[in-house]
């Protein structure tokens, strides 16, 4: 995982959220799709 994800997820955890899951996907047609997933979403729960 890249630094961007570590900063984003770390910020959510620091704000009192628990990461309950994540989802990765691509856009079915971009040049990078055959190499990496270009979209990431997290499921966060506030404690």
CB 19 within 8 A of CB 44: yes
**φ and ψ of 34, to 5 deg:** -75, -10
Q: Residue 32's domain spans which residues?
A: 3-46
Mind listing the pLDDT tens digit for each residue in 1-47?
A: 556 777 778 889 999 999 999 898 888 888 888 888 888 889 999 98
Q: For the full predicted model, state whether its pTM sits above 0.85.
A: no
In the chain, the number of structural domains is 1
């Amino acid at each position: 995982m890249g630094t961007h994800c570590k900063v984003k997820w770390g910020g959510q955890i620091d704000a009192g959220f628990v990461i309950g899951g994540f989802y990765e996907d691509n856009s079915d047609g971009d040049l990078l799709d055959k190499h990496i997933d270009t979209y990431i979403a997290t499921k966060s729960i506030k404690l």
